A and B are shown apart, each in its own frame.
Chain A
Amino acid sequence: MVTFYLKRIYTSFAQHILDVPPRLLALLCFLLCLLFPITKPKSYALFIMALANLMAIFSASWDLLVGRTGQMSLGHALFFGIGAYSTALLYRFYKLPIVATIPIGIFITVLVAVLVGFPSMRVKGPYLALVSMAFPLIGTGLVFYFRQYTGGEEGVWGLPKLFPALGRYDRRIAEYYFTLILLLISAIIVYKIANSKTGVVFVSILDDELASKACGINVTKYKLMAFAISALFAGLAGAVYAHMLGIANYETLSLSLSFLPVILTILGGIGTIYGPIVGSYIYHITDRFVLTEMNIPDVWHLLFFIVLVVIFILKWPRGIARFVTDKLEDLSEEREIEERGPHIWKKYKRKKESTHEG
Chain B
Amino acid sequence: MLTWLSLLFLALFALAAFLLGRGRALKAAGGASVRLHSLPNYYGAYAALWAGAPAALLLLLGAVFGGRIEEAVLQAERPAAIASLTPDRQDVFFSDARAIAAKESPSEVVYEGALKTALDAKVAESAKITATVRYSTIALAALVALIGALLALPRVGLEFRARNRVEGWINGLLIACSVAAVLTTLGIVLSLVWESWRFFQSVNPLAFLFGTEWSPQIAMRADQVASSGAFGAVPLFAGTFLIMLIAMLVAAPVGLYSAIYLSEYADRRVRSVVKPLLEVLAGVPTVVYGFFAALTVGPLFRAFFNAIGEGMAGGPLDGIAQYLMQVQNQMALVAGVVMGIMLIPFVSSLSDDIINAVPQSLRDGSYAMGATKSETVKKVILPAALPGIMAAMLLAVSRAVGETMIVTMAAGLQAKLTANPLDTVTTVTVQIVTLLTGDQEFDSPKTLSAFGLGLTLFVVTLALNIIALRIVQKYREQYD
Q: Do A and B make up one complex? A: no
| Chain A residues close to B by CB (< 8 Å) | none
| Chain B residues close to A by CB (< 8 Å) | none
